[in-house]
Amino acid sequence: MSRRERTERSILQALEEQICETGMAGVGVNSVAKRAGVSKELIYRYFDGMPGLMLTWMQEQDFWTKSSSVVKGNESSERPPADLILTMLREQIDALANNQPLCEVRRWELIERNDVSAKLADRRESAARAFIDRVDGLTEEADVPAVVSIMLAGILYLMLRAKTEEYFLGVPLRTPEGWDRLWKAVEHLTASLPEDLKSKSLRTLEGKRPSADTGKGG
């Protein structure tokens, strides 16, 4: 590892520690530089300031921006869409579980809209669309993006809510037993998707997807 790589790693570690200690309210170039023992000029030189630093850190933390088999076309094409959706939701839970700094950033994104949070949200949306666009329009029996949105938003909300509330509608949010119950509910909802999405591969269904010109006159 080069000297620059070691310094970059030290800065990223300092950012994570600062998030854990103060939440995003206490995060800035000055506080991170002080904790890392470097000049703030280095953060601008190596990361182009806080937006670049946050994007680099999130690249390693967030489900949509780190490596995941569910968003890789070649590896996912042979699996049914319903199975891919379940895998994506499971990995979302695993990405947030026991990751305090990531949860802090996701909470902050929900209440703050600035250059940093906007770039994080835009990059996540772009990565998520690469997946959801593949399962959209495969059936007329269900609005798959809307169904997935409800489940994904519910998981995110409950994971973040667990910091301040121990229960939600009587379901424990801080115990494995509680999350086992919630996961069974997710499986139940996914099982309600049309049969083709559960039994046929994504590649097969994509091959039958109606073209944009279907139904148009010549």
Which pLDDT value is given to residue 95? 86
pLDDT tens per residue across span 53-78: 999 998 888 777 665 666 565 667 89
Within 8 A by CB and 6+ apart from 194, the residues are 139, 141, 142
Mean pLDDT score of the chain: 89
Q: Which pLDDT band, with edges at 50, 70 and 90, does 218 fall under?
A: very low
**Domain spanning 3-50: which CATH class is it, in words?**
mainly alpha
**Whether 119 contacts 126, CB under 8 Å:** no
d(CA 162, CA 140): 36
Is the per-residue pLDDT at 211 higher than 70?
no
d(CA 164, CA 191): 31
Is the per-residue pLDDT at 217 higher than 50?
no
d(CA 94, CA 209): 32
Number of CB atoms found within 10 A of residue 17's CB: 14
The domain locations on the chain are 3-50, 69-207
Give the range among 36-50, 63-77, 97-111, 125-139 with minimum mean pLDDT: 63-77
